[in-house]
Amino acid sequence: MFGNADMYSLIAIISILVAVVVMAFAPKMFAKHGKRNVLLVFAVVGVVGGIIGFVGAKQLNPILVFVSTALHGASLAPYVAAIFTFASDIVEYLEQQLGQRYEGLVTSVSSIGSKVGTGLGSAILGWGLEVGGYDGALIQQAQSAKDAETFLLFIVPTLASVVCFIAMWFWDIDKKIKK
């Protein structure tokens, strides 16, 4: 990015540091506002961050890219904090609705989903670079490869944030679980 491969390391560091800080506050945010509401808001943060990053990359503006990276890291944090709680919510909900606990089934489905998602994420990255004509042996990449990198770095996560927003919009188990 910007003709400097070291930028990717800086982007990753910014994203991770911001995510760790926000993650520390996620449980308090969940308790105060509800998991669904917090995740909806942070999905919007992810969309905004992706748009800012895409514009910043196209304008070769590192400040916008760094702001985008911080927003992206912040948007991921509550999801990372909550991801393993969804399975227990489903188990509790099923027990209340059906009178039986399905820990094994829910955990298996969650595990398979994680593996498939990780594999698809890696494949999408590889396919995107292939479509863009990326060649790791080249010192200077073609413009199509640079465009593919920008798309993969900013637009794909933005689309993922939209999917997360839609999923959380329909997530109503929190309301249905009798405390």
The CA–CA distances, whole Å, from 18 to 8, 13, 14, 22, 75 equal 16, 9, 6, 6, 9
Judging by beta carbons within 10 Å of its beta carbon (0-12, 13-18, 19+), is residue 159 exposed, middle or buried?
middle
Per residue in 140-172, pLDDT tens? 889 999 999 999 999 999 999 999 999 999 998
* 86-135 residue pLDDT tens: 999 999 999 998 999 999 999 999 999 999 999 999 999 999 999 999 99
Written as one string, the DSSP assignment of 82-149 is HTTHHHHHHHHHHHHHHSS--HHHHHHHHHHHHHHHHHHHHHHHHHHHHHHT--TT-SS--HHHHHHH
Look-up of token digits 């105060």: 32
* pTM of the entire predicted model: 0.87
How far apart CA 94 and CA 17 sit, in angstroms, is 37
Q: Is 37 exposed, middle or buried (0-12, 13-18, 19+ CB in 10 A)?
A: middle
CA distance 173 to 80: 19
Confidence of residue 7 (pLDDT cuts 50, 70, 90): confident
Q: Which residues of 108-121 are buried (b: 16+ CB within 10 A; e: fewer)?
A: eebeeeeeeeeeee
Span 6-176 CATH architecture? Up-down Bundle (1.20)
Q: What is the pLDDT of residues 37-74, one digit of tens each?
A: 999 999 999 999 999 999 999 998 999 999 999 999 99
Per-residue pLDDT at 1 exceeds 70: no
